[in-house]
Each structure stands twice: as C-alpha cells, then as structure tokens.
Structure 1
Amino acid sequence: MTSARHIQTLLDQGDREAAVREARAFLRSVTAEAGFGVTNARLTEGPATGFGVFSPREDNVFAPGEPVHAYVEVYGFSLTPGPDGSNRMTFDVSFTLDSPDGVQLTDALVPMGEVLLQSYSSPVDGYFHLTYRITGAEGTFNLRTHVVDRASGQSAEFVLPVEFAAPEAEGK
C-alpha cells in the first residue's frame, strides 16, 4: 500500500515521476474503496471544454424550453479495455424532475443515453457535460440525475435546483 510518507520520501529523493505515479496509485486505491461517485455537479452556460473548464451559470432560472447545461465530475469508475488499447468508461444517465419537497414528477426516470469517455491513460477521475431538454415545465424543481457506471453497476445521483419561468415583459 502506497502511503503519503512513501510519496514524500520519493519527492525528497528528487524522484518526482515516481512520486506522481505512486500518488495516482494511492488515489486509485482510495476511489476503489469509496466506490463510484459524482462530485462538482454544476449548472453551466454551455458544454464544458475540459476538466474543470466551463462557464458557471450565474443563476438557476431558465426560460421554458431553454436547454439546461451541467458539468459533472466522476470518480471510482470502472475501466474497461477498448479494442484500440484505450480505457473506456461508460455511464448510463437518466433524470427526473422532483418537486421542492422531493416528490418525483415524472412517471419514471427519463433516459438521456450513454456517456462514453475514452483515455489512453488510467485516469482517477473524469468529467462530462449534460444537456437537458425539458419542455412543459414551469416553476421551481429539483433536477435529479442518476448516473450508472455500466461495468460495475454502481450508481450515484446528484440534484441541481432549477426554475423555469417565462421572461418578464419589457417595461413592466
């Protein structure tokens, strides 16, 4: 088992590459024990362009029918080998709208489809963006999203509060 003390020893010896490799191995062991999870889910102005690279949305108020964009980070996921030697991470995503007091307002979770991430490295975390297209909703809701790591079957959820309101008319 890699430890922080061992990593520090490698750094003290000037072996930065080995220290980083061991730190990643340590983080992988932590996420393996913690299991699959989602963190840093945020509303954004549009799709993210990189890990932590997005424009945060200043509010959570959307016009009816306006696309809702979200940034999501995942950890503790499964890596499955791709035919080209890459590592694949596959997630199934669905969502529902809940009332502010937690009552589910859709008959079932609404499937959004598959998210496939691919890397020629062995990442310890990843990110993706989601675009929700919600019609017919007006008022305040909790946008609850369910993410499943397909290979392990483990799942995680996150909730983003949203409001759908018609824009105020000019001059009122």
Structure 2
Amino acid sequence: MAAHHHHHEHAGADLTRAAEATLVKAGEQWTTMRAQVFGALAGFDKPASAYDIADAVSKTEGRRVAANSVYRILDLFVGANLARRVESANAYVANAHPDCLHDCIFLVCDRCGQTTHIDDDSITGTVRNAAKGAGFVPVRPVIEVRGVCAECDQGSAQPAAGPGAS
C-alpha cells in the first residue's frame, strides 16, 4: 500500500500568502520582483521556463525583465520550497504547499506538457534508502515519469481482446 502524505493545497491569494510566509520564515525578503515572478509562475497551468516567466512579468510591468534575473529568483524559490523544477522540461511549477517539505513525483505528459505532482512517501523513501545503501547522501531525489496523461490518451487506447477473441 502506498504511503501518501497529506497537506493543505493553497491556491490563488492564499498560495501567494503561504509562499511569502515560507520565504520570510527562511530569512529572505518578499520583494516586489519576487512577488511578480511567483505570481507569474503560479499563473501557468503547465511547467513554465524562466523565459516564459520573464515574458509574463515583462508584459505585466511594461518593461523588459531579463531571464537571468528570473533564474536567480527561481533558484531561490526552489531552495525555499516555493517552486519545484521539472528537470526533464527545464521548467518550473509553483509548489501548492510551500509549508510542507517533501520529495515529489512528477507525471509529465509528452503530448500536451501537462505535469501532475503526486506524493508517495513509500516510493521516494525507497529511492532515498537505495541511495544511502550505495553510500550516497541523497539531497533531493528527482522522480519524473514521462508518458501520456489520461486526457490525451482518451480515444487512443484499444480495448483488450478478451477470451475467445480472434
């Protein structure tokens, strides 16, 4: 049986408040630019690159925002648990529960790019224990499963042939 862990998922203004509180608790400042980057990131429904976020903030601000500045902020956000990096896509998602530190498993659709985050402590614990057993100190396991989401797969699945089918 999978060991899922439960937490409160934040959304909208509540997510922004939770992110700000988590960053401040980590000893960092919640600046206007960081708020804008977080707001842009949280506004995407799929993982966003630093360039996507820079473009969104640039449009909102009416001035060009450099992707390098966004990368630095995203690195800070990942370190503070406000965002997660989807490694295989070189993109980021806002963490809907920044006040809960844990390992994530991402399901990444190769057709539409939708990324679903799931928690399963038994899987991530097994990965951490395997690393430790090999004499390695795991810091941040990255588990991503590439495939096709249920929405993209609708209609493309063939029914299995039953007994007696020719």
Q: What TM-score comes out, normalization by structure 1 length?
A: 0.25
Structure holding more helix per residue: 2
Q: What TM-score comes out, normalization by structure 2 length?
A: 0.26
Larger radius of gyration: 1
Structure holding more strand per residue: 1
